[in-house]
Amino acid sequence: MTAHDTAAVLDALLAEYGARANAIRRDLGRSHSADFAEQAQQRQNDEVLEALLAEAEAAMRQVGLAKQRLAEGRYGECQRCFEPIEAGRLEALPAAEFCLRCADLS
Ligand SMILES: [Zn+2]
């Protein structure tokens, strides 16, 4: 994969997570029912949504860091041992920060 392809993959991922985060924020912003039992259910749903939002935001940060490494010519370098991350792993997880060995350690 060339650096250009990698940039396109990372941008697509960022857009995907961004769209997901926006959809969740929209859901969280909706008005709540006046019914007490329904409100309790909605609060539970909100907790799930907030966890999903945090997950999407963390993923966006991770992709952002991968883009930064790409710009600096350090993309695909393990952030722990600085060895190259396995190609198959990067294909599956384009924003991977650690090689397989280091990911297993954490
Ligand atoms: Zn490593």
* H or E, element range at 44: helix 36-71
Asked whether the beta carbons of 6 and 75 are under 8 A apart, the reply is yes
- Rounded to the nearest angstrom, the distance between the alpha carbon of 71 and the centre of ligand 1 is 20
For the segment 63-82, what is each residue's pLDDT rounded down to a tens digit? 999 999 999 999 999 999 99
Report helix, strand or coil for 103: helix
5 C-alpha to ligand 1 centroid (Å): 23
pLDDT, tens only, 6-60:
999 999 999 999 999 999 999 999 888 889 899 999 999 999 999 999 999 999 9
The confidence score (pLDDT) of residue 1 equals 64
Question: Do 49 and 90 have their domain in common?
Answer: no
Task: Based on the fold, state whether residues 37 and 89 are members of the same structural domain.
Answer: no
Q: For the packed helices 36-71 and 3-29, what is the interaxial angle rounded to 10 degrees? A: 160
Q: Is the predicted pLDDT of residue 99 greater than 90, yes or no?
A: yes
For residue 99, the enclosing domain spans: 76-106
Q: How far is the CA of 105 from the centre of ligand 1 (A)?
A: 9
Confidence at residue 106, expressed as pLDDT on a 0 to 100 scale: 65
Clarify whether residues 68 and 81 are in a common domain. Answer: no
pLDDT of residue 3: 80
